[in-house]
C-alpha cells in the first residue's frame, strides 16, 4: 500500500550572526522568520518554546498557511495543497496525527490504495479486469522491492544514485518505460502521483525508502474537513501568536504582504529588506520559503550564501504538482468501508 504524496521539500536556512555580544544578558535574540507556512510557523513555535520572544514573521502573501490552502470549488472547500496525513500506523507517531485526529478532530479517512487494482478505467469506458491489473501491480511491487534492496547497498553519499527508471531497467521491467495503458496508470500511481515527477528524474536513493513512510508507517489518511488542512497551522500559531475568535492570526509579530527581497548579513546581525523597501534588523533570520523561491533570484543574499549551502539548495529539483478537481453529477465510483 502506498499513499499519494508530494515530496515535501522545504528548506530552512539559518543565518546566524557570529557575534555573541549582540545577545545582551537577560534579553533574548531577535529572530526574523521569512514565510508563514508550516515550517515558518513551526520554527516560530520551537523558538518560542525555547524562550525566544522577540520574533517577527514576514510573509509575502496576504495569508498564513503557505502550501496548506483550502479553496472553494463547487460549493465545497477542497485542498489545493496538502491533503493527506502521510506516514501512519508505524512504530513512531507522526507528530501531525494527534493534532489532526485528537485535538482538532479534522474529518479524515483511511486511504485504501489496495482498491487501485479494481479501479483502473479504460479510456473508452468500463474497468480493466482486476485480476490482470493485480498481476501487473504485483510485478511493479516486486520491482520496487528489488529497487529498495538495491538502493540500500548504494553508497549513502548518493554518489552512485540512479533514477527510478534506471532501476526499472536494471530489473528488466518496462525498459522503454510503460507502454500499455495499465502499466502507464500503475507507474503513474506508484511514482509520479507520489513524487510529482516521472521515474526518469526521480532519485532512487531519495525515495526508496521515503523517510516519512519509513519513520511513521506506510498508511495515509485523507483529510476532508471544511475547516481545511491549514487549521493545523493556525492551531500551532495560536499557541504563541495572538488570534481572534475565528482562529485568524492577528498578532503584530506576523506581517503579511511583505515580500522579502534582500537579506544582508554580517557578524553583527542581519537586515531583511522587503519589496516595499521596509528594512528589519535582527540577530538571526530563518528562511522557510520553498526551494523554488531559494532557487530563483527573488531573495538576494548579501554576501552570497556559502558554496555548500548553494550546492545543497540545488541538489533538489522543485517539482510541480498539479491538482485537477472535477465535479461529477453523480458518484459513479465504488466506495467501500467508510
Ligand atoms: C499540490 C500539493 C499537494 C500536497 N500534498 C501534501 C499532502 O497530501 N501531505 C503532505 O504532508 N504534504 C503535502 N504537500 C506538501 C506540503 O503542502 C508542504 O510540504 C508544506 O505545506 C510546506 O510548508 P513550508 O512552510 O515549508 O513551505 P510553504 O508552505 O511554501 O511556506 C513558505 C511561505 O513562504 C512565503 N514566501 C515565499 N517567498 C517569500 C518571500 N520572498 N518573502 C516572504 N515570504 C515568502 C510563501 O508565501 C509561503 O507562505 C503538498 C504540496 C502541494 C503543493
| Ligand 1 proximity of 233 Cβ (cutoff 6 Å) | no
Active-site annotation holds for 194: no
Residue 213 alpha carbon to ligand 1 centre in Å? 20
| Ligand 1 proximity of 68 Cβ (cutoff 6 Å) | yes
Residue 136 alpha carbon to ligand 1 centre in Å? 35
Residue 192 alpha carbon to ligand 1 centre in Å? 19
| Ligand 1 proximity of 194 Cβ (cutoff 6 Å) | no
| Residue with the three cell numbers 495543497 | 81
| Domain 13-69+230-313 of CATH type 3.50.50.60 | yes
pLDDT at res. 17: 43
Q: Mutate which of 67, 237, 292, 298 to test ligand 1's pocket (most atoms within 8 Å of Cβ)?
A: 67
Residues in the chain: 338
Q: What would the pLDDT profile of 54-79 be if each residue is shown by its tens digit?
A: 999 999 999 999 999 999 998 999 99
Q: Which three cell numbers stand for residue 32?
A: 526574523
Q: Mutate which of 6, 61, 294, 297 to test ligand 1's pocket (most atoms within 8 Å of Cβ)?
A: 6
Q: Which residue in 18, 34, 17 sits closest to 262, CA to CA?
A: 34
What backbone phi and psi angles, to 5 degrees, belong to 170?
Answer: -55, -35
- Minimum-distance ligand 1 atom for the alpha carbon of 84: 8
pLDDT at res. 15: 53
Q: Mutate which of 13, 34, 82 to test ligand 1's pocket (most atoms within 8 Å of Cβ)?
A: 82
Q: Whose CA is nearest to atom 12 of ligand 1?
A: 82
- CATH 3.50.50.60 maps onto the chain at 13-69+230-313
- Minimum-distance ligand 1 atom for the alpha carbon of 39: 25
Low-confidence ranges of the chain (pLDDT < 70): 1-26, 335-338
Q: Residues 59, 79, 86, 208: which is the catalytic one?
A: 86
Residue 32 alpha carbon to ligand 1 centre in Å? 18
Q: Which CATH number does 100-223 carry?
A: 3.90.660.10
Rounded CA-CA distance 43/164 in Å is 33
- CATH 3.90.660.10 maps onto the chain at 100-223
Q: Which residue in 45, 35, 33 sits closest to 235, CA to CA?
A: 45
Amino acid at each position: 500500500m502506498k499513499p499519494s504524496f508530494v515530496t515535501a521539500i522545504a528548506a530552512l536556512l539559518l543565518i546566524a550572526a557570529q557575534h555573541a555580544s549582540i545577545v545582551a544578558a537577560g534579553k533574548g535574540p531577535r529572530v526574523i522568520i521569512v514565510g508563514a507556512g508550516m515550517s515558518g510557523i513551526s520554527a516560530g513555535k520551537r523558538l518560542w518554546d525555547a524562550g525566544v520572544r522577540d520574533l517577527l514573521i514576514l510573509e509575502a502573501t496576504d495569508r498564513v498557511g503557505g502550501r496548506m490552502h483550502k479553496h472553494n470549488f463547487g460549493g465545497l472547500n477542497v485542498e489545493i495543497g496538502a491533503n493527506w496525513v502521510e506516514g501512519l500506523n508505524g512504530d513512531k507517531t507522526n507528530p501531525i496525527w494527534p493534532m489532526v485526529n485528537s485535538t482538532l478532530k479534522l474529518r479524515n479517512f483511511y486511504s485504501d490504495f489496495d482498491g487501485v487494482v479494481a479501479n483502473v478505467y479504460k479510456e473508452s469506458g468500463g474497468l480493466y479486469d482486476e485480476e490482470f491489473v493485480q498481476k501487473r501491480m504485483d510485478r511493479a511491487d516486486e520491482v520496487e522491492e528489488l529497487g529498495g534492496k538495491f538502493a540500500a547497498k548504494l553508497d549513502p553519499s548518493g554518489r552512485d544514485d540512479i533514477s527510478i527508471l534506471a532501476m526499472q531497467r536494471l530489473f528488466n521491467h518496462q525498459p522503454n518505460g510503460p507502454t500499455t495503458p495499465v502499466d502507464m496508470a500503475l507507474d503513474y500511481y506508484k511514482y509520479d502521483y507520489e513524487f510529482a515527477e516521472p521515474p526518469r528524474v526521480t532519485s532512487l536513493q531519495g525515495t526508496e525508502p521515503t523517510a516519512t513512510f519509513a519513520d511513521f508507517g506506510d498508511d495515509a489518511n485523507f483529510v476532508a474537513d471544511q475547516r481545511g488542512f491549514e487549521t493545523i497551522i493556525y492551531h500551532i500559531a495560536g499557541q504563541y501568536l495572538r488570534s481572534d475568535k475565528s482562529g485568524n492570526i492577528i498578532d503584530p509579530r506576523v506581517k503579511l504582504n511583505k515580500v522579502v527581497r534582500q537579506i544582508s548579513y554580517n557578524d553583527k546581525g542581519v537586515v531583511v529588506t522587503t519589496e516595499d523597501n521596509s528594512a528589519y534588523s535582527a540577530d538571526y533570520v530563518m528562511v522557510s520559503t520553498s526551494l523554488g523561491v531559494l532557487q530563483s533570484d527573488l531573495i538576494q543574499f548579501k554576501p552570497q550564501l556559502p558554496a555548500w549551502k548553494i550546492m545543497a539548495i540545488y541538489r533538489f529539483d522543485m517539482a510541480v504538482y498539479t491538482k485537477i478537481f472535477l465535479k461529477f453529477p453523480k458518484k459513479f465510483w465504488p466506495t467501500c468501508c467508510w
